[in-house]
Amino acid sequence: MTAPKATLQFHQLRSGYEADKTSALTEALSQGQHLAIKGASGSGKTSLLRVMCALQPAQHGHIDYQQHTISVQNLPWWRRQFCYLPQEPVMGANTIAEVLRLPWSLQATDKPSPSDEACQTALASLNIQHNMNHDVDTLSGGEKQRLAITRALLLDRPVWLMDEPTSALDAKSRDSLMTLLKTLPIIAVSISHDPEWMRAASHTFVLGDHHE
Ligand SMILES: Nc1ncnc2c1ncn2[C@@H]1O[C@H](COP(=O)(O)OP(=O)(O)OP(=O)(O)O)[C@@H](O)[C@H]1O
């Protein structure tokens, strides 16, 4: 018998910071699927994503992953299932090599640290041309965003939770990221204001004014 595909389920999930007090997220996602969330500024998108990341408690509802309800007891396990890409990419180190290996230096993963070759392959897939010793302070906003995505790629986790991952990307980089995401064996949840990005997602959820 083959193992069931990983499933991520949201049941009537609310952060409590939704502008629309009736909004709640109910959705079931399997590997290869992508839920894109949109809504006006202040509608509560980031707060909902932070609930998914267990960075703040849900006001209502719960999350199941692989038939386990996320709770205080299994939080360490849940935290190792996802990559969180916040709105402002966190570099956390000085050079590209250090930034890419940050999760390993923080012992956030038990997997072996990626080789230089693996880092270079991942950098190339996000079209980052700089060498590994390059100072990240000199990178553009879009390059930092792509570097954070490169790190997520190396971390190789089954769930990606992304807060406006394309906000600093041009259309070409956005399209490459959409293509890349479709090739990965992951469940993706993202926040976006970009109609093209929303169209490419398998599932969408609108917070706030449903007539926008
Ligand atoms: N910890 C908090 N304490 C008080 N208010 C909060 C807190 N977190 C969020 N809010 C408020 O909840 C509302 C929703 O915020 P949130 O950041 O989730 O919105 P958003 O839809 O992601 O907005 P944007 O598109 O501008 O990033 C805002 O009015 C915000 O000020």
Give the largest Cα separation in the chain, rounded: 51
Domain residues for the domain of 152 are: 87-157
- Among 52-66, 81-95, 198-212, where is mean pLDDT lowest? 198-212
- Number of domains comprising the chain: 2
What average pLDDT does the segment 63-70 reach? Answer: 96
Residue type, 22: T
The ligand 1 atom nearest the CA atom of 50: 18
What's the CA-to-centroid distance between 16 and ligand 1, angstroms?
10
Q: Is the same domain home to 131 and 180?
A: no
Q: Is the same domain home to 150 and 166?
A: no
Q: Is the same domain home to 205 and 183?
A: yes
What average pLDDT does the segment 194-209 reach? Answer: 93
**For the chain, what percent of residues have pLDDT higher than 90?**
90
3 state SS for 163-200: ECCCCCCCHHHHHHHHHHHHHCCCEEEEECCCHHHHHH
Q: Is the same domain home to 53 and 106?
A: no
- Pocket-forming residues, ligand 1, beta carbon under 6 Å: 17, 39, 41-47
Q: Is the same domain home to 11 and 65?
A: yes
What average pLDDT does the segment 82-102 reach? Answer: 95
**Helices within the chain (DSSP H only):** 45-52, 75-79, 96-100, 102-105, 116-125, 141-155, 171-183, 195-200
Domain final residue, candidates 119, 138, 157: 157
Average pLDDT, the chain: 93
Q: Is the same domain home to 151 and 95?
A: yes
- pLDDT of residue 74 exceeding 50: yes
Q: Reduce the DSSP state of residue 80 to 3 states and report it.
A: coil
What's the CA-to-centroid distance between 32 and ligand 1, angstroms?
29
- pLDDT of residue 178 exceeding 60: yes
User: If you take atom 11 of ligand 1, which residue's CA is the nearest one?
Assistant: 17
Q: Is the same domain home to 173 and 100?
A: no
Q: Is the same domain home to 187 and 153?
A: no
Q: Is the same domain home to 15 and 118?
A: no
Q: What's the rounded Cα separation, in Å, for the pair 114 and 107? A: 13
- pLDDT of residue 6 exceeding 80: no
Give the model's pLDDT for residue 176: 92
| Contact (CB, 8 A) for 91 and 99 | yes
Give the model's pLDDT for residue 3: 52
Query: What CATH number should be reported for the domain holding residue 46?
Result: 3.40.50.300
Per-residue pLDDT band at 210 (split at 50, 70, 90): very low
